[in-house]
């Protein structure tokens, strides 16, 4: 049932191009418009939404963090992303014009479920993004957008994450489309680019041998740090989470802009630092900032592992290890940038003799607090 792979996680990483394509299937019409009629919240209600709040846990929370960038950019609706376990014990300010998006692979995560109940009690509309048909979270929501990742068995989430991202982009673009924001042309071109992503994820998967080799060479390290900016920041958090749960290593993700506010003190000789570099095209200011961050940490002895767009010549001289990813619009980059981090964590876990599919102390679905 592992389809010839040693672990479910490897199989699920390999299934990502299909999972992404399946999640897009039937949701884009021939004219390149989104058709999400299955989201049973009428367009008239979506037009009135004044705030979006995303609640989720773990990896799904990282997908939600990325969604915030996309939603605010394409719709100009204020959006907050919050850990479900924090949200449910606060007194969040919500009303009938708030759209709450609950993201959950299993659809059974207790904190996320409680957060959505809390939101509905206050009159907010809840849209679930979920991978498990008929599970509790979609049943208790006003609407659901299913991810079509297929069953995810490994405890560490991989293909579910990529499809959660796709679903989040679809919701963001759909909200933009329904509300007719000034980004209309950009929305159409991003929808086209989304259709290319499955092929690009496949390209990334074909070039992973050097990443595996690198992971093996780091098996005896104690710490790996991860840095990112903008949508690369949640990707850094996700890379660190994968490493904690699979390799049982100390791993932390930081927003690169925070370096000087503390984390740079952690940089010492030969500490591996993975940096997610935004595209040099588009918002080039982001790119330039991160190149100087890389120079700063390298000058202090860090071993830089740089994930950058193919052909990014400005960053290459500062990379001790360069992992190239395909050219994508900035907001979509997490779909390709996360994949090497999954492979990296999986290989490190194997090299350290850990149980890949069933890491210690963890369960696939967290139905208790």
CB-CB contact of 157 with 59 (8 Å): yes
- Does 335 participate in binding ligand M6R (rule CB under 6 A)? no
- Considering only 105, 141, 304, 333, the residue that binds ligand M6R (CB under 6 A) is 105
**How many chain residues bind ligand M6R (CB under 6 A)?**
16
- In angstroms, give the least distance from the CB of 367 to ligand M6R: 9
Per CB under 6 A, the list member of 23, 75, 106, 163 interacting with ligand M6R is 106
Which of 99, 134, 106 shows the shortest CA–CA distance to 120?
Answer: 99
Candidate segments 100-108, 138-146, 274-282, 303-311, binder of ligand M6R by CB under 6 A: 100-108
> Least distance (Å) from ligand M6R to the CB of residue 164?
8
Nearer Cβ to ligand M6R, position 153 or 205?
153
Residue 237's nearest CA partner among 74, 71, 65, 1 is 65
- Which of 292, 12, 290 has the alpha carbon at shortest distance from 309? 290
Q: Does 326 bind ligand M6R (CB under 6 A)?
A: no
Span from 106-114, 219-227, 257-265, 284-292 in contact with ligand M6R (CB under 6 A): 106-114
Question: Of 156 and 187, which has the nearer Cβ to ligand M6R?
Answer: 156
Calpha distance 104→55 (Å, rounded): 9
Lookup: tokens for 139: 């049943």
Q: Which is nearer to ligand M6R, 201 or 302 (CB)?
A: 201
Query: Per-residue x/- mask for ligand M6R, residues 53 to 92, rule CB under 6 A?
Result: ----xxxx--------------------------------
At 259 the three-state DSSP class reads: helix
Per-residue x/- mask for ligand M6R, residues 190 to 229, rule CB under 6 A? ----------------------------------------
Question: Of all residues in this chain, which one has the CB nearest to ligand M6R in the complex?
Answer: 58
Nearest alpha-carbon partner for 334 in 280, 277, 282: 277
Whole-angstrom distance, CA of residue 351 vs CA of residue 353: 5
Could you tell me the CA-to-CA distances from 241 to 97, 105, 223, 342 in Å, in that order? Answer: 34, 16, 13, 10
Instruction: Determine, following the binding rule CB under 6 A, whether residue 138 of this chain makes contact with ligand M6R.
Output: no
* DSSP label of 145: E
The answer to whether 336 and 77 are in contact (CB under 8 A) is no
- Of 32-40, 42-50, 98-106, 309-317, the segment contacting ligand M6R by CB under 6 A is 98-106
38: number of Cβ within 10 Å: 11
Q: Is 341 in the site for ligand M6R (CB under 6 A)?
A: no
Nearer CB in complex with ligand M6R: 249/294: 249
**CB of 130 vs ligand M6R, minimal distance in Å:** 8
What's CA 351's distance to the chain center, in Å? 25
Residue from the set 85, 98, 109, 328 that interacts with ligand M6R by CB under 6 A: 109
- Spatial separation of the C-alpha atoms in residues 88 and 110, rounded to whole Å: 11
- State the Cα angle at 263 between 361 and 235, rounded to 5°: 55
**Residue whose C-alpha is closest to residue 357's, from 18, 15, 10, 16:** 10
Of the residues 81, 136, 141, 157, which one makes contact with ligand M6R according to CB under 6 A:
157
Torsion of CA 46, 47, 49, 53, to 10 degrees: 50
Q: Would you tell me which residues interact with ligand M6R (CB under 6 A)?
A: 57-60, 104-106, 109, 112, 155-157, 241, 245, 365-366
């Amino acid at each position: 049932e592992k389809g010839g792979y040693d672990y479910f996680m490897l199989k699920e990483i390999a299934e990502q191009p299909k999972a992404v394509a399946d999640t897009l299937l039937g949701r884009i019409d021939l004219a390149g418009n989104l058709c999400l009629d299955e989201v049973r919240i009428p367009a008239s209600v979506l037009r009135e939404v004044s705030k979006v709040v995303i609640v989720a846990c773990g990896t799904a929370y990282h997908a939600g963090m990325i969604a915030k960038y996309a939603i605010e950019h394409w719709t100009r609706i204020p959006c907050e992303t919050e850990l479900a376990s924090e949200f449910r014990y606060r007194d969040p300010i919500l009303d009938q014009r708030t759209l709450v998006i609950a993201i959950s692979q299993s659809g059974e995560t207790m904190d996320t479920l409680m957060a959505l109940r809390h939101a509905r009690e206050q009159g907010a509309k809840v849209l679930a993004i979920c991978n498990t048909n008929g599970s509790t979270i979609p049943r208790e929501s006003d609407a659901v957008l299913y991810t079509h990742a297929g069953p995810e068995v490994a405890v560490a989430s991989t293909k579910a994450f990529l499809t959660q991202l796709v679903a989040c982009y679809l919701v963001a673009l759909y909200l933009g489309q329904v509300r007719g924001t000034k980004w209309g042309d950009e929305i159409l071109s991003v929808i086209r680019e989304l259709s290319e992503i499955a092929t690009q994820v496949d390209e990334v998967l074909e070039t992973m041998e050097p990443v595996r080799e690198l992971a093996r060479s780091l098996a005896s390290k104690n710490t790996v740090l991860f840095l990112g900016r903008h949508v690369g920041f949640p990707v850094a958090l996700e890379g660190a989470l994968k490493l904690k749960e699979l390799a049982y290593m100390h791993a932390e993700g930081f927003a690169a802009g925070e370096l000087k506010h503390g984390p740079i003190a952690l940089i010492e000789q030969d500490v591996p630092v993975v940096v997610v570099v935004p595209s040099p095209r588009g918002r080039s200011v982001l790119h330039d900032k991160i190149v100087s961050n890389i120079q700063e940490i390298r000058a202090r002895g860090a071993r830089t592992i740089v994930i950058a767009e193919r052909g990014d010549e400005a960053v290459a001289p500062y990379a001790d290890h360069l992992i190239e990813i395909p050219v994508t619009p900035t907001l979509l980059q997490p779909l390709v940038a996360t994949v090497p981090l999954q492979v990296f964590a999986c290989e490190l876990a194997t090299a350290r003799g850990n149980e890949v599919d069933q890491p210690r102390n963890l369960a696939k679905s967290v139905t208790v607090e």
